[in-house]
Chains A and B, each alone.
Chain A
Amino acid sequence: MADKILHAVYDDDDKLMHAVKDLRAANFSIDEVYTPFPVHGLDKALGLKPTRLAILSFIYGCIGFSFAIFMMNYIMIVDWPQNIGGKPSFSFIENMPSFVPIMFELTVFFAAHLMVITFYLRSKLWPFKEAENPLPSTTDDKFLIEIKFHGDGKSLKAAVKKTDVFDINIIDNTDSKK
């Protein structure tokens, strides 16, 4: 159980990127990074696994597509057959072209909305949730690396100091729990 947390603050995304690479090269495991904006290439530098959200978005799109087919078939053909473009045929496939815009829109709608909801659930975000970031200025212009460690962490502090760091804070985990 890690009992202390080190917060290394940076004032530039390039400095952050270099620090992340150096610290990881020195075998320190970085627990979390807070940035005011998405930093290009940071996920790779941190060695994060690629997101599986893309696979889910494809599945959600397929659900939306199937739902649109089901819905248009029920509304326009089965429940209350409609005269489409002056060609009343009561057949789904013959009227399919006029349903394509709906199929497309619902595919996008399902993929987009379900993906956002999934992302919120996965990141444990919901309305009125208290912000978790330890330093409010990471929403403005600062970048923060969070590393948990045991003992006095001398070698860690030395390694962090070697990077182009703006500020270092040590937080006692047992204190903050109270």
Chain B
Amino acid sequence: MYKVSKNIKILSFTLMIIGALGIAYGFYSAPKTIEQAKELVADSHGHGHSNDSDSHSYEEADHSDSKEGHSASHDEHLLHKLQNRPWSSIYVAALFFMFLSLGTLAFYAIQRASQAGWSPLLFRVMEGITAYLLPGTLIILVILILSAMHLNHLFVWMDPEVVAHDKIIQGKSGYLNSPFLIARAVFYIFGWNFYRYISRKYSLAQDTSSDISNHKRNFQWSAGFLAFFIVTESMMSWDWIMSVDPHWFSTLFGWYVFASMFVSGITTIALITIYLKSKGYLEKVNHNHIHDLGKFMFGVSVFWTYLWFSQFMLIWYANIPEEVTYFITRIEDYNLPFFGMIALNFIFPLLLLMNSDYKRVNWFIVMTGIIILIGHYIDVFNMIMPATVGDKWFIGIPELSSVAFFAGLFIYVVFNSISKAPLEPSGDPLLKESEKFVY
């Protein structure tokens, strides 16, 4: 049995407190009125750290304003962007950490459904990580409800004023409306957490049972969950991410988001496994298991790049105005995070993990893992921020403290859950195979 060490507790609470203070500061420093917003922008121009020469004309299209009163609506738009920043930073961090958990849950279900022989030793680590799914998804649900109550402007299509002037959003309003969005969110969240609850229950029951009926039931639920997951995950990515750019659409967006959460989830499993091993737990896990996780990190990183590029190249090549705005905003206003993320998510894992021997070296996996996690945080950042704050982005106090807050919560929930059950699933019929596993 693992016991949560004092250091972990102190770390998680410190992160949460620092994060909460930073988030509060983010809200406090966001402008309340149009005058303050203008002042802030004038100020930042004075400091000269943003090189924007009003390149947010693409964003403007979303708000397709009536011809008169253009400048007034422009100012209001600016205010909304600046007010969105603390909200967006919370939303990005909440999504990212929820994805760690959801990606792990998908990986776990695949192991269960495919009856994988190498991974049962890691099941309790995975179950620990998926424990964050419930708080993580509920936080997202709360943010969505607050958005639907017009407390922020993350989703422009929730604003009836915008919809009234926008033919495209009007055409989508049968799907994109607040009550239906919340209903769908509740449906996904319930489904995922229900599977997580059931699977954990059978997994624990298998430890003490004399037959493998629990194992079989877990297999059936996992296979069913995967079918449910791939549909709801795709819809979740349209609802929670793609709809912040309500004019834009991409048919492989669900897969793209899935690749991102999958690789970050697998990376988290590797990092936590290596941490637990370094503390003397998980004696039976050896470098063969780490090697397999390393292979998945490598492979799914390449898969992510494949999807990222497939999405980018077709839109870039076809150059259709309503599609290409998405990438123009990102290349013009988000050049560094947009292209930097390719280096972090593709070049680094490709070169660092290509050699078979490096995948067996713990510190190599940890180093690459940290790079991958940073890269995929920036990926989520690039999905949300261009639509909500436009060119007024910066990775500053609100963003970093949101990450700190959710990291603290994540660490607390995950390690707490890992300490609740024996680290070895002793009743699993495939445990022996996992112990003897040679890559």
| Chain A residues at the B interface, C-beta cutoff of 8 Å | 41, 54, 58, 84-87, 97-98, 100-101
Contact = CB atoms under 8 A, between A and B. Distances in A.
B319 A100 contact: no
B317 A98 contact: yes
Nearest to A86: B319
Given A85-B318, A87-B319, 19 more contacts: A41-B438, A54-B355, A54-B356, A58-B354, A84-B317, A85-B316, A85-B317, A85-B319, A86-B319, A97-B309, A97-B312, A97-B313, A97-B316, A97-B317, A98-B313, A98-B317, A100-B309, A100-B313, A101-B313
Nearest to B354: A58
Interface of B: 309, 312-313, 316-319, 354-356, 438
Contacts of A41: 438
10 contacts: A54-B355, A54-B356, A84-B317, A85-B317, A85-B319, A86-B319, A97-B313, A100-B309, A100-B313, A101-B313
A124 B356 CA distance: 27
A-B pairs with the 6 shortest C-beta distances?
A85-B317, A97-B313, A97-B316, A85-B319, A98-B317, A86-B319
Contacts of B317: 84-85, 97-98
Nearest to A61: B354
Contacts of A97: 309, 312-313, 316-317
Contacts of A86: 319
A87 B319 CA distance: 9
Contacts of A87: 319
A100 B313 CA distance: 9
Nearest to B438: A41
A58 B313 CA distance: 26
Nearest to A98: B317
A47 to B, nearest CB: 16
A58 B316 CA distance: 30
A97 B313 CA distance: 6
Contacts, number: 21
A41 B437 CA distance: 12
Contacts of B355: 54
Contacts of A58: 354
Nearest to A58: B354
A87 B309 CA distance: 19
A148 B44 CA distance: 82
Nearest to A101: B313
Most buried by A among B317, B354, B355, B356: B317
Contacts of B438: 41
A98 B315 CA distance: 11
A100 B356 CA distance: 26
A85 B320 CA distance: 11
Contacts of B319: 85-87
Contacts of A100: 309, 313
Contacts of B354: 58
A87 B438 CA distance: 52
A98 B318 CA distance: 11
Nearest to B355: A54
A97 B305 CA distance: 13
B254 to A, nearest CB: 22
Nearest to B351: A58
Nearest to B312: A97
Nearest to B318: A85
B117 to A, nearest CB: 14
Contacts of B309: 97, 100
A41 B319 CA distance: 52
**Residue with the greatest number of chain B CB neighbours at <10 A, chosen from A41, A54, A97:** A97
A107 to B, nearest CB: 12
A48 B260 CA distance: 39
Contacts of A98: 313, 317
A101 B319 CA distance: 18
A166 to B, nearest CB: 26
Nearest to B313: A97
A97 B308 CA distance: 12
Contacts of A101: 313
A26 to B, nearest CB: 24
Nearest to A44: B438
A144 to B, nearest CB: 25
Contacts of B356: 54
B319 to A, nearest CB: 6
B107 to A, nearest CB: 25
A112 to B, nearest CB: 16
A85 B312 CA distance: 14
B352 to A, nearest CB: 13
A100 B316 CA distance: 13
Nearest to B356: A54
Contacts of B318: 85
Contacts of A84: 317
A54 B356 CA distance: 9
B360 to A, nearest CB: 13
A101 B314 CA distance: 12
